[in-house]
Structure 1
Amino acid sequence: MADRKLEITQVRSGIGRQSKHRRTLEALGIRRHQQSVVHNDTPAIRGMLRQVVHLVSVREIGE
């Protein structure tokens, strides 16, 4: 699990969403719509993604 990475792309807008969801997107490093970031596949990141699953798409990158 440590070698895997996740590519996270915001596909829905954060406008009008709960502030908790907007703060989670910012904590993931996503600043604007359609931006992609890459993170290690950790339980903390998975928990953050569970909160904003309706706003992002996730792709596993096996390295």
Structure 2
Amino acid sequence: MAKKEITVTLKKSTISCNQKQKATVKGLGLRKTGSSKTLENTPAVRGMIKKVIHLLDIKE
């Protein structure tokens, strides 16, 4: 059975975000605006994405 993956791209800067949101973006492995990362589709990753969804572009 193949594992499902999600590609997340940082589309907005984290300059105006609070420290928790910045830490969440860093935890997802994103650094600069436009950077992308392919992650496993797990409940933990989904929760992190939900906290900063306004900054991300998501493709399943």
Question: TM-score range with shorter-chain normalisation?
Answer: over 0.9
TM-score (norm 2): 0.94
Matches within 5 A, 1:23-38: 23-38=23-38
Gaps in structure 2 of 5+ consecutive residues = none
**Which TM-score applies when normalising by structure 1?**
0.90
Indicate the residue corresponding to 1:15 in structure 2.
15
- How many residue pairs end up in the alignment? 59
RMSD: 0.9
How far apart are 1:16 and its partner, in Å? 1.5
Gaps of 5+ in 1: none
Percent identity over the alignment? 34
For residue 6 of structure 1, give the secondary structure of its aligned residue in structure 2.
strand
